[in-house]
Amino acid sequence: MNDSELRSLVALLDDDDPDVLQHIEQKLLSLGSTVIPFLEEEWGELKDIYHQQRLENIIHQLQLNELIQEFIDWHSTKEQDLLHGVYLICKYRFPEYSKQQLINAIEKLRLDVWLEMNFEMSPYDKVRIINYILYQIHGFKGNVENYHDPSNSFINQVLETKKGNPILLSTIYVLIAQRLNIPIYGVNLPQHFVLAYLEEIGSKQVGMRFNDIEDMLTNSGKILFYINAFNGGSIFTKTNLEQFLQQINVSAQHNFLVPCSNLDMVKRILRNLASSYQKLNKPHKQKEVMTILYTLGEPPMINFQGMGDQSSDL
């Protein structure tokens, strides 16, 4: 379809006939994401706000369709790379944000930690250095004031504001640590999200993918301690973790005490985002995020209170 035909379709979006509008919308959506740049240019030329809004909704749906396919492709890869997963979440709200921007931001933090790091240090001292760079030098902290704000689920905004929820601060922590070959992984705890530092075995490379949990636990060292990225990187023990679960009346199941997969982390972020939109009474956005979750194997019904992040004194 040439530009003239596309322009004619856009012009017809000014029609008041619902059947005509539905036909035009379906026709434009069938063309796929390749027409987005043209539609964005046309949007800028429109004078009527309702006409603009109709075209804007189509552009958004095209972007969402493309994003869902990207999530499907990511889900089907063997590595399910964590950085790419959180980048895709970022694209839901910031479609123009580039992956290279995210890579550069994480690399800057990694370099700052690396310059202070002596790799003969003990695990506790390595965590102390990461904490010093993240929380004292760069000023990252838990977003207590606006805990349920959707911005806490987009890594670009957390990197910019230095405030986030437990899962996003933990994600940044993991991305930095594993790029330094430090074995720190996420722990999918109910109502909170924490980190686990695994025993280092020789010079074994820390894998950037982390999806075969049982194999990883069999072939790696024990958990040395846990880290609370939401609370300045404070260190605590398995006993502390079990006490926390007891306080919230949750039994200490095995999967609440051991590392989780990259997929689990990405799904946790999406659940928090859907919950945030629910609290803001934005059902349309909540439904879109849930649609993405379904493509990653999430069941249709979800208990936000049980698996979302909540404020905690852990």
Summarize pLDDT for 176-226 with one digit per residue, the tens.
Answer: 999 999 999 999 888 889 999 998 765 555 654 455 555 555 555 689 999
In the chain, % of residues over pLDDT 90: 56
Distance CA 280, CA 313 (A): 25
Distance CA 275, CA 266 (A): 14
Query: Residues 10, 150: one domain?
Result: no
89's tokens: 């979440």
Q: Is residue 312 part of a domain?
A: no
Name the least confident of 37-46, 80-89, 118-127, 172-181: 37-46
Query: Residues 41, 98: one domain?
Result: no
Query: Residues 93, 169: one domain?
Result: yes
Amino acid making up residue 71: F
In the 8-state DSSP scheme, what is residue 14? T
| Cβ contacts of 86 within 8 Å, gap of 6 or more | 102, 155, 168, 171, 266, 269
Query: Residues 90, 56: one domain?
Result: no
Task: Select from 76, 101, 122 the last residue of a domain.
Answer: 76
In the chain, % of residues over pLDDT 70: 88
Query: Residues 169, 283: one domain?
Result: yes
Structural domain of 72: 3-76
pLDDT of residue 161: 97
150-183 confidence digits (pLDDT tens): 999 999 999 999 999 999 999 999 999 999 999 9
282-313 confidence digits (pLDDT tens): 999 999 999 999 999 887 654 444 445 654 44
132 CB-contact burial (10 Å; exposed 0-12 / middle 13-18 / buried 19+): middle
Task: Select from 76, 91, 121 the last residue of a domain.
Answer: 76
Query: Residues 196, 55: one domain?
Result: no
Q: Is residue 313 part of a domain?
A: no
Query: How much is the pTM?
Result: 0.86
Our count of domains for the chain comes to: 2
Task: Select from 76, 103, 128 the last residue of a domain.
Answer: 76
Query: Residues 138, 59: one domain?
Result: no
Query: Residues 259, 161: one domain?
Result: yes
Distance CA 288, CA 60 (A): 11
Query: Residues 170, 248: one domain?
Result: yes
Q: Is residue 147 part of a domain?
A: yes
Query: Residues 171, 299: one domain?
Result: yes
Query: Residues 61, 87: one domain?
Result: no
